[in-house]
Amino acid sequence: MKYHLPRPQAEPAHTPPAAGPHLLDVSMFWGATGGVRRVLTAKHERLRELGWRHTVIAPGARGSGLIDCGGLPLPHSGGYRMVLGRGRAMRQMAFVAPDLIESADPYTLAWASLAAAERLRVPAVAFCHSNLPAVMARLASGAGAAATWRGRTAERWARRYLVNLYRHFDLVMAPSIGLAQSLQAWGVPRVTVQPLGVDCSVFTPCAQDEAWRRELCREHGLDASTRIFIYTGRYAPEKNLQLLADAVRRLGKGHVLVAVGNGPAPPAGPQVLRLPPENDGHRLARMVASADVYVHAGDQETFGLGVLEAMACGTPVVAARAAGLAELAYGAGLLVSRPKVDAWAEAMEASLSSNHAAQRRNALARAQAQDWPRVMAQMTQRYTALLGRAAAPAEAPPARAGLALPSLASPLARHR
């Protein structure tokens, strides 16, 4: 059965006219903080500079070229909203009439994107920002879920779901080699690696501000000699933020963890300072560049945008030797293999020494190689190739007839 879009309803104008192709980005990941929103915002600015038209459809998105598709608050998610029905988003997609649709989440909006792409006869791209099997395994049984029956069952279900979804897209992009290899191993076709970018004109060692650091210490009653470890992003269980808080406490007085963000699993402790999310890139860069060390203990990261920003600032990095973080920070920071307080405290203490110049040089070089202008050039080449194939009569997109929207409820529910 094919999808049928309802007749488009009048919507307000969203983007100024431009001569270039029109890319529509669709995602439910539009909370107060989080990497996906920042990526979409960066694309929004830079695509327009390149002469493209760009529209974002997301829950709560407002502004020029941004369209709110509604959605219900998702508990314990740090501000995300879940879109349950496809109708409103599909009408909005049809109204803006893009040349290309990209979906940045694997849920209801992804199926709506496929339906709209079929109706509009335009290519559909998926960007895999999260490892859904790992997420589902953790939700099913908590940390270490992959070793339990419930975790393994949830993981298998999520893999089948992703393959069934992503096989309909013309291209599936993954931000790291490891995730791309996993998608291919699961059976997802047409997968390519597409790293994310960092604005090296904003995130730079020049952003360091000793006056800001002194003011932070004064305002929060910290000694001027306090060593500052910083984390930026969502407070989510898979980020393992309490591990960082406990490691800082193990280091003793004179050390503090500054956590910038929000979410359902914040770090807590006498040496933890929580600051609200910072969406202004210049102010965020000042925080990161002025800290002693950037820390990230997440074990399910597909990329690690905050780590890349710290690398661009020349701030030493300590990260988990897991998933995308291990790939991004290899040779450019200290990697911690075990989620143990002692191991993290030891690595964080070692990161304060001055004998990591080679790692910092590698980090800066890697970040500069992923400056947004370079990354956007690569992305637009991929988009242009898809548009060219779509225009060629001999090139047929993946068959989308018979698309069915499977239930998002885990099969584990049947065994409760």
Please give the pLDDT value at position 178. 95
d(CA 69, CA 76): 21
Do 100 and 146 share a domain, yes or no? yes
- Rounded mean pLDDT, 316-344: 97
Q: Is residue 9 part of a domain?
A: no
CA angle 61, 55, 91 (to 5 degrees): 80
Task: Quick: pLDDT tens for 269-320.
Answer: 999 999 999 989 999 999 999 999 999 999 999 999 999 999 999 999 999 9
Do 388 and 327 share a domain, yes or no? no
Do 54 and 182 share a domain, yes or no? yes
Q: Is residue 136 part of a domain?
A: yes
Do 215 and 344 share a domain, yes or no? yes
Number of domains in the chain: 2
Do 172 and 264 share a domain, yes or no? no
Q: Is residue 1 part of a domain?
A: no
> Which residue, chain included where needed, has tokens 């109706």?
119
Please give the pLDDT value at position 76. 74
Please give the pLDDT value at position 413. 34
Please give the pLDDT value at position 150. 87
Do 209 and 319 share a domain, yes or no? yes
Please give the pLDDT value at position 18. 56
Task: Tell which wins on pLDDT, 58 or 151.
Answer: 58
Do 217 and 286 share a domain, yes or no? yes
Name the band, by pLDDT with cuts 50, 70 and 90, for residue 70: very high
d(CA 320, CA 336): 5
Do 215 and 247 share a domain, yes or no? yes
Please give the pLDDT value at position 148. 83
Please give the pLDDT value at position 9. 40
- Rounded mean pLDDT, 182-206: 97
DSSP bridge pairs for 296: 319
**This prediction's pTM:** 0.87
Q: Is residue 5 part of a domain?
A: no
| Residue 189 confidence (pLDDT) above 50 | yes
Task: Quick: pLDDT tens for 16-62.
Answer: 455 799 999 999 999 767 789 999 999 999 999 999 999 999 999 99
Do 75 and 209 share a domain, yes or no? no
Do 76 and 137 share a domain, yes or no? yes
Per the document, the length of the chain is 416
Q: Is residue 14 part of a domain?
A: no
Q: Is residue 126 part of a domain?
A: yes
Do 356 and 394 share a domain, yes or no? no
How much of the chain, in percent, has pLDDT values that exceed 70? 88
Task: Quick: pLDDT tens for 207-257.
Answer: 999 999 999 999 999 999 999 999 999 999 999 999 999 999 999 999 999
Please tell me the least confidently modeled range out of 6-20, 95-109, 131-145, 241-255: 6-20
Task: Quick: pLDDT tens for 336-361.
Answer: 999 999 999 999 999 998 788 899 99
Do 229 and 339 share a domain, yes or no? yes
Q: Is residue 278 part of a domain?
A: yes
CATH number at residue 328: 3.40.50.2000
Q: What's the domain range around 233?
A: 205-369
Q: Is residue 50 part of a domain?
A: yes
Please give the pLDDT value at position 396. 52
Region at 304 (left for phi over 0; alpha for psi -120 to 50; beta for the rest): left
